[in-house]
Amino acid sequence: MEMIKVEDLAFEYIRRNEEGDVESINRAIDGVSLDVKKGDFIAIIGANGSGKSTLAKHINAILYPSEGTVWVNGMNTLKEENLWEIRRSAGMVFQNPDNQIIATVVEEDVGFGPENLGVPTDEIWERVEKSLKAVGMLEYRNQSPNKLSGGQKQRVAIAGIMAMKPECIVLDEPTAMLDPDGRKEVISTVRLLNQHEKITVLLITHHMDEVINADKVFVMEHGKIVMQGSPREIFSRIPEIKKYRLDVPQVTELAYELRNAGVDIPEGILSADELVQALENLGA
């Protein structure tokens, strides 16, 4: 069964002047369809203003479609009675780590979601402990969030979502404000949750090296999905990626140039090890 199903989705930001007349319409999403299977690790990439964050907010029912339909776990996001169940089953992690932590103590913040759901006290404690352990932040449970690094704060935010026992996590550029170490921390945590807890992950980013391990990658531009496929397929189409104002990981680009120069190596190389292997095979 599909975790997320998006059909012909369109969303318009409408600007009105003081009289309430429509001043301009910005079609942020324009005819997007996609399916995400349970347990998948999906990445959506795109330059600024490509509509990827707007798409993410539809999956958590923060925004509603202007046209088309979004189903999360079989529930239509337009139906009011589904709202809270959708938000529970598709948790969302935002970009700014400071602006999504509510409590002044780490464990209380993780408990915020279950409290809202009306979970009994004993079970909240169990869930908090389990979620903090899953993201490797258990030893910081009594600390103030202000004392944590950016990467740690994002892990706390992820734990806060995990405590609501979601089937799916949507991460909206969770690493955009982090340093390289923090980025690695967050991405490996997310991957771990995907593999061990079988959580469906929808990662929205513009860092190309974060999508290498995804099951499927969607590239967005001007509100449309312009490319889709496995990371290997996407990365073997380098000129196209560049056209969409996206960076390509260094190794991939080097391999691509080598191939163009006539070196006989496979297409879509994703890591340094792979390139070394390919070049060694060449010598053999």
Q: Which residue has the tokens 């079988």?
A: 198
Site for other proteins in 53-72 (CB under 8 A): 60, 62
Torsional sign, CA 111, 113, 118, 119: negative
Candidate residues 66, 69, 96, 271; the one interacting with other proteins per rule CB under 8 A: 96
Of 57 and 224, CB closest to other proteins: 57
Q: Identify whether the C-beta of residue 11 lies closer than 8 Å to the C-beta of residue 57.
A: no
Q: Could you please report the per-residue DSSP string of 181-195? A: HHHHHHHHHHHHHHH
**87 interacts with other proteins by CB under 8 A:** yes
Instruction: State yes or no: residue 94 binds other proteins (CB under 8 A).
Output: yes
Q: Check binding of 119 to other proteins (CB under 8 A).
A: yes
Pick from 10, 47, 78, 103 the residue near other proteins by CB under 8 A. Answer: 103
How many residues contact other proteins, by CB under 8 A?
Answer: 38
The verdict on 146 binding other proteins (CB under 8 A) reads yes
Does residue 137 bind other proteins (CB under 8 A)? no
What tokens does 62 get?
A: 């923060």
Using CB under 8 A as the binding rule, whether residue 167 contacts other proteins is answered as no
C-alpha 264/C-alpha 284 separation (Å) is: 12
Q: Count CA within 13 A, CB hemisphere, residue 153.
A: 23
Question: Given candidates 24, 26, 116, 195, which one binds other proteins under the rule CB under 8 A?
Answer: 116
Interaction of residue 121 with other proteins, rule CB under 8 A: yes
- Collapsing DSSP to helix, strand or coil, 153 comes out as helix
Sheet holding 41-46, edge to edge: 90-93, 168-172, 200-205, 41-46, 216-221, 224-229
**Binding of residue 98 to other proteins (CB under 8 A):** yes
Using CB under 8 A as the criterion, which residues of the chain lie in contact with other proteins when the complex forms? 60, 62, 84, 87-88, 91-92, 94, 96, 98-105, 107-108, 111-121, 124-125, 128, 145-146, 160-161, 164
